[in-house]
């Protein structure tokens, strides 16, 4: 891939989701990291970006952006916010998940995600601790959350999601037989050799994620017409 093409891809597709939501992760402040975690839980469901962004904005509108505020809002209040944001298909399940996760986050880590990072022994332990916060916090949610913290948290180094790997292989940036971690390593090597000024590996990875969604959508359209 030529550098001009790489620049076009990153500039067109690489805006971080946290930036779209107005979340500032630049210095790793705990309250901003938590906002991104909440957004990541919402992004973790198979639902459109538009609906997730709208739903997060409803949490913001109602001031429900801390673990304690989520618990205080309660199940009925959370369902109302989720429905207001058009998150209706997963409203009950997500309300259950949020309440369980917030209780565990407060009990085990005093509500601090940064404390989870500090206590984790390495990247694998960090992911395990986050998943242990509650049912429904799986690989996809953890990868979404930690991807945008790669340059903020030393131990944040999640595997590339399937969609990133799909795009990487389609663009011949990773070998066809590469697994997730192998593809990630190849992408890091490629970026190290071809960095775009003012952009980061996170921008590059995010661009590939969005391209992977388009590739999958086109493939499904070709199959089902």
At 4-45, the pLDDT tens digits run 999 999 999 999 999 999 999 998 999 999 999 999 999 999
- Residue 225 scores a pLDDT above 60: no
Predicted local distance difference test score (pLDDT) of residue 1 = 82
Predicted local distance difference test score (pLDDT) of residue 128 = 97
Instruction: Please tell me the total number of residues recorded for the chain in this structure.
Output: 225
Per-residue CA distances from 11 to 171, 198, 203 (Å):
16, 10, 8
- Residue 178 scores a pLDDT above 90: no
Looking at every residue in the chain, the average pLDDT score rounds to 93
Residue 135's pLDDT band (cuts 50, 70, 90): confident
The domains of the chain are located at: 3-14+160-224, 17-147
Average pLDDT (131-156) is 94
Predicted local distance difference test score (pLDDT) of residue 172 = 93
Measured CA to CA, the distance from residue 82 to residue 77 in angstroms comes to: 9
Which residues have a Cβ under 8 Å from the Cβ of 36 and sit 6 or more positions away?
18, 21, 23, 25, 145, 148, 149
Average pLDDT (171-185) is 88
Q: Are 4 and 22 spatial neighbours (Cβ–Cβ below 8 Å)?
A: no
SS3 135: coil
Q: Are 122 and 116 spatial neighbours (Cβ–Cβ below 8 Å)?
A: no
Measured CA to CA, the distance from residue 62 to residue 53 in angstroms comes to: 14
Superfamily of domain 17-147: Hypothetical protein; domain 2 (1.10.340.30)
The mean-pLDDT minimum among 69-73, 135-139, 141-145 falls in 135-139
* H helical segments located in the chain: 3-13, 17-20, 30-43, 49-61, 67-84, 91-109, 113-119, 123-131, 139-147, 162-170, 180-193, 201-224
Predicted local distance difference test score (pLDDT) of residue 202 = 96
Predicted local distance difference test score (pLDDT) of residue 160 = 85
Average pLDDT (158-164) is 89
Q: How far is CA 105 from the centre of its chain?
A: 18
């Amino acid at each position: 891939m030529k550098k001009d093409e790489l620049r076009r891809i990153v500039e067109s597709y690489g805006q971080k989701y946290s930036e779209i939501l107005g979340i500032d992760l630049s210095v790793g402040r705990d309250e901003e990291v938590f906002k991104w975690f909440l957004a990541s839980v919402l992004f973790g469901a198979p639902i459109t970006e538009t609906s997730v962004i709208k739903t997060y904005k409803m949490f913001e509108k109602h001031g429900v952006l801390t673990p304690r505020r989520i618990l205080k809002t309660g199940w009925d209040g959370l369902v109302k916010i989720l429905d207001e944001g058009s998150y209706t298909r997963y409203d009950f399940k997500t309300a259950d998940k949020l309440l369980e996760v917030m209780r565990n986050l407060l009990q085990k880590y005093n509500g601090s995600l940064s404390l989870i990072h500090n206590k984790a022994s390495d990247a694998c332990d960090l992911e395990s601790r986050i998943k242990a916060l509650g049912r429904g916090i799986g690989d996809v949610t953890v990868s979404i959350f930690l991807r945008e913290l790669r340059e903020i948290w030393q131990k944040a180094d999640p595997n590339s999601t399937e969609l990133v790997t799909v795009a990487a292989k389609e663009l011949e940036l990773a070998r066809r037989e590469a697994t997730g971690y192998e593809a990630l390593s190849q992408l890091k090597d490629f970026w190290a050799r071809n960095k775009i000024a003012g952009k980061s590996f996170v921008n590059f990875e995010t661009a590939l994620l969005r391209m992977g969604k388009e590739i999958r959508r086109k493939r499904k359209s070709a199959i089902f017409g």
